[in-house]
A and B are shown apart, each in its own frame.
Chain A
Amino acid sequence: MANSNTDITKESFAKVNLADTESEKITGESVSAWKDALRRFVTNKGAMASMIIIAAIVLFAIIGPHFFGYDIDDQDVSRANLPPKIGALTWIPAFNGYENGVDIYKEKNVTKNYWFGTDQFGRDLWTRTWKGTQISLIIALIATLADVFIGVVYGGVSGYFGGMIDTVLQRILEIIAGIPNLVWIILLMLIMRPGLITITIAILATSWLSMARIVRGEMLKLKNQEFVLASRTLGAGDGRIIFKHLIPNSIGMIIINTMFSVPNAIFFEAFLSFIGLGIRQPQASLGSLINDGYQMLQIHPYQTLYPGIIISLLLICFNIMGDGLRDAFDPKLRR
């Protein structure tokens, strides 16, 4: 019972006056839900690594095509089908310009190095690959933006207004979703010319459905939340409720879903390229490069390899980043 602490003296027992306000004090800096999510995201190693890789790919997509001064359509059949060769890395078998034990550069009398090799037209694959990455990213961006807008508006209207509007919109959505993807693509393929617009339309025809569903769900969930009701009782109109309350609170879900629709769009573009609906020559996208290279898979695997690696990296990184964002925004993990 006796206290052995020696530094406890008589005056330690003096009463301290804790002001009421004192006990309300919050220490630490103010963090918004965004910052909070950001912090959690930053500590997620996988997600951060993914983001860095994506950033690097984007950077290369911008500067890569200017490295050697080639155009995407710089043909020269005298240097066709060269394997990759990087001067400083010739000790690595993958970059020594040999194929099946033969120095192709010597055989064709080529002195310049092509880091990713060349294709059958003698076009520099480094340039084409990064240019293709550019196009793929742009396609993904366009498709995703459009997808986000259609999906968000459709789902938002359906969920927020509810009632008859919701019923009708949901029935339409159900019917659209009832038609398989492939059927949409086929119909498009029959009546449209390949190219950027077709790709975008093809992606749009189907991909916004999930966004619409998610946004609708969010709206249904949020519009009966007490903070929305509170705003209502304060006399807020639809506009204020939508823009101040509903959208800021569903934007996390929208971002997460976008993270997943980017790789979907990239992958889909590759699939479209494969069935001949992709980008047109001499333009290249990652999908069309893989598709071109695929013909050569057994003979010149490097022609598929690099676009393949980049597309896979993009898909993987976007997916992991999406997962990371989901965790970062997960209300259950918040304390």
Chain B
Amino acid sequence: MAAKTEKLLQVKNLKKYFNVSRKDVLKAVDGVTFDVYKGETLGLVGESGCGKSTTGRTIIRLYDPTDGEVIFDGQDIGGKLNRNEKKNLSKRMQMIFQDPYASLNPRMMVKDIIAEGIDIHHLAKSPKERMDRVYKMLETVGLNREHANRYPHEFSGGQRQRIGIARALAVDPDFIIADEPISALDVSIQAQVVNLMQELQEKQGLTYLFIAHDLSMVKHISDRVGVMYLGNMAELASSDDVYDHPLHPYTQSLLSAIPVADPEIERTRERIILEGDVPSPIDPPSGCRFRTRCPFAMDICAKVRPKWHEAEKNHWVACHLHDEEIKTEKV
């Protein structure tokens, strides 16, 4: 794969806090920094509740960021946006959702679902043009014209997910955030969707932020992968780097935990089994978020929050084990 270098999206120290009660603040995303290059797929993995969706939703401005910068194609979109700016943004940045059952309005026909973006942005001059675009979108995602007049509940999960993709593509965006687009689908169907997304990327030069917790699928589709833990980014590198020599203990244990569909490997594999569950984001551990479950936790981990730094070339990590300063101190 050719190296992609032009930055389409820059996320800097993004934070999103929710006020869950008068006292409590839930730090769903607590200072993540990463770039997305034009034409690449950046995978985002992590356990449930670690803030993947929140990151995606904050970038696309479903949520207003608590702090931090989001720069999209040179333009800062992290601050206050007026209606028009939001609308323009929505043409260039789109989202695909997780639940194929909940993401389509059951009361609308497929054609109206797909045409929603066209209608909002007045992309069609006549009803005929509108329908033409709808048909084109349907064909693009491998459905046919007859499907335009049907209702979502008549479709299977994979088909619905393709309708969701068609809806996002209808406004001709550059950047798509896919929030677990396949995790609710059957194994045999997942490949349909993933293949389709890859095809589209090749044809239309799309850029993806691909959120999932299925690491093998993320690895398959992504150029680079970011690993999140409890609102923080733990590691970010090219997918091969992340899988072949992960630096962060969390990434390591995560990788070892995935059961592989190969009995041979499964029989011989050593696992790093993590103790306990993910702590609550309302009251996260001090210092390094992962230290409570980390097999290598040190004293400093409780005191100092590890720096997000480029430990190797294009391999970012936030862990004291890989922090040069601390390493040298120790040695």
Contacts and interface: CB of A to CB of B under 8 A. Distances in A.
Nearest to A228: B105
Contacts of B20: none
B271 interface: no
A20 B162 CA distance: 14
A233 B94 CA distance: 6
Given A26-B150, A227-B105, A229-B97, A21 B144 contact: yes
B145 to A, nearest CB: 10
Contacts of B149: 30
A33 B154 contact: no
A147 B296 CA distance: 64
Given A31-B154, A233-B90, A234-B120, A227 B83 contact: no
B142 A230 contact: no
B159 A33 contact: no
A231 interface: yes
Interface in A225-268: 225-227, 229-237, 240, 244-245, 248-249
Given A26-B154, A30-B154, A334-B153, A230 B103 contact: yes
A226 B151 contact: no
A32 interface: yes
A248 B142 contact: no
B236 interface: no
A24 interface: yes
A71 interface: no
B248 interface: no
Given A31-B151, A232-B62, A236-B116, A249 B91 contact: no
B106 interface: yes
A234 B171 contact: yes
Contacts of A21: 142, 144
Contact of A230 (B97, B107, B153): B97
A34 B153 CA distance: 12
Contacts of B83: 237
Q: How large is the interface on B (under 10, 10 to 19, 20 to 34, 35 or more residues)?
A: 35 or more
A242 to B, nearest CB: 13
A19 to B, nearest CB: 10
A249 B104 CA distance: 11
A76 interface: no
Contact of B120 (A235, A248, A249, A334): A235
Given A225-B102, A226-B97, A235-B86, A24 B121 contact: no
B150 A30 contact: yes
B151 A32 contact: yes
B153 A33 contact: yes
Given A24-B142, A234-B117, A229 B62 contact: yes
B60 A233 contact: yes
Interface in A123-166: none
A82 to B, nearest CB: 55
Interface string B87-117: 1011101110111001111111100000011
A34 B108 CA distance: 11
Given A233-B95, A235-B87, A235-B91, A24 B159 contact: yes
A34 B151 CA distance: 10
B34 interface: no
Contacts of B168: 230
A34 B90 CA distance: 31
Given A24-B143, A24-B159, A234 B116 contact: yes
B293 interface: no
A244 B116 CA distance: 10
Interface in A1-57: 20-21, 24, 26, 30-34, 36
Contacts of A235: 86-87, 89-91, 117, 120-121
Among B95, B99, B106, B120, the one with the most A-chain Cβ atoms within 10 Å of its Cβ is B106
A244 B153 contact: no
A30 to B, nearest CB: 5
Contacts of A33: 106-107, 151, 153
Contact of A36 (B120, B153, B159): B153
B175 to A, nearest CB: 11
Contacts of B94: 233-234
Given A30-B150, A244-B108, A231 B116 contact: yes
Given A24-B142, A26-B154, A230-B167, 6 more contacts: A32-B107, A225-B103, A234-B90, A234-B121, A235-B120, A245-B105
8 contacts: A24-B142, A33-B151, A33-B153, A226-B98, A229-B62, A229-B103, A235-B87, A235-B89
